[in-house]
Copies of this chain bind each other. A is one copy, B any other.
Amino acid sequence: MTQHPTPDERRPANRGPKAAAGNRAALVTAAREVYAEHGLDAPLSLIARRAGVGQGVLYRHFPDREAMAAAILEENVVEIERAAAAEGATLAGVLGVLTWHQAQSAAFIGLLHAPGAFGRFHSHGFSRSLGERVERALRESLPEGHRLGAQDARDLMLAVAMVSGAVTGATAEEREQRALDAWRLLGIEVGPVRPFEG
């Protein structure tokens, strides 16, 4: 009685476990779009719908709001880490990749520097660690022997936050230009703004 007693007649096909990987990918894609359009407060149900999966599938893959957001941010950070680890990486080059991500999804990179700014994402401290990973990546991209003092590192991350502030709220079209203007105001050189491709 208490529970779901209406098994119904025809279900719209169970695509089987094979669909799992595809579903997860679809969810990530959908989440990226939906977050971009509606912000991090977007209803999860919308993401599930957009991905073409049931609510349950979303919860299976991402047990809570944070897990979903973390999965998105994670990918951004991984790209930046890869760019930093690549042969011949330079700070300017990595900042270019970072800027590309900021321009693509300002709200998310902005989140790196604004945990809890809107009353969410306090718990896991995940953005803290993501922020640290970005910081480490930037450090690693410096020329051999070139070390950043603590204050320098802090300033660099502050600069990143400032660029995020610059693009926050701008339309997708304006973002890249704004980011470049921001780096210019800071007097920091930035390489080509583009995704990292090994």
Contact = CB atoms under 8 A, between A and B. Distances in A.
Contacts of A119: 1-2, 37-39, 41-42
Contacts of A43: 2
A117 interface: yes
A40 interface: yes
Which of A63, A67, A119 counts the most B-chain CB atoms under 10 A from its CB?
Answer: A119
Classify chain A's interface size. 35 or more
A117 B2 contact: no
Contacts of A85: none
Given A1-B70, A126-B1, A162-B163, A39 B117 contact: yes
Chain A interface, >50% SS class: helix
A169 B107 contact: no
Interface string A28-64: 0000000001111111000000000000000011111
Given A3-B71, A118-B39, A118-B118, A113 B66 contact: no
A89 to B, nearest CB: 23
A120 interface: yes
A92 to B, nearest CB: 17
Contact of A118 (B66, B107, B161): B107
Nearest to A4: B61
B118 A41 contact: yes
B159 A40 contact: no
18 contacts: A1-B70, A2-B41, A2-B42, A2-B64, A2-B67, A2-B70, A3-B24, A3-B71, A5-B60, A40-B118, A107-B117, A107-B118, A114-B169, A154-B181, A162-B165, A162-B166, A162-B182, A185-B186
